[in-house]
Structure 1
Amino acid sequence: MRLVAYAGLFLLGAVVGVAGALAQQGWFPGGLLLALAGSAGAFYGGSRATGTRGGAIAPAAGWLVAVMLLTATRPEGDFVFGAGLGSYVFLLGGMGWL
């Protein structure tokens, strides 16, 4: 049962990472604060829900995978993260929670 919880938390972390990547630039600076709060909430909530460190690591891993995939440029030259203070704060702030 715990493995199912970890898989669900991994998916939750990925969703939070994608949503945060889109929100942090859309409503700067409020979106950035919302994205960082969502990340911290997912990590802390996973830890409290399972009662283990793995509960925090699972959403953090999902967040990291999603965000790293979104930082890569596409063949068309499109990307999600622009070069700006908000993007760097979101990336480093989210990794700081890890």
Structure 2
Amino acid sequence: MTLWVPSWLFVFSVTTVDLKWKPADLQNLAPRTHPPFVSFNSEVKTDVSKIEEFLEEVLRPPKYLKLSPKHPESNTAGMDIFAKFSAFIKN
């Protein structure tokens, strides 16, 4: 999924983490959970649907009314590609 938001609208950081060796700050931020999660104003959201609702509520530009794909099949296509990519990486 592509998020069409101007970079000046908000500042974000993406951190890649090896889940076998979680840093202490990640453990403190979201204990007993695995990515994805979003931290915003010291509030952590770990549920994917809650993350999507949050993004649509807070970061929605007027031009793009929904962050979800236009066609529902796009979700399953993305999941299929991710599953195949994950299997490729593991082997």
Q: TM-score, normalised by structure 1?
A: 0.28
Q: Which has the higher contact order (CA 8 A, sep 6+)?
A: 1
Higher helix fraction: Structure 1 or Structure 2?
1
- Please identify the structure whose Cα radius of gyration is greater: 2
Q: TM-score, normalised by structure 2?
A: 0.29
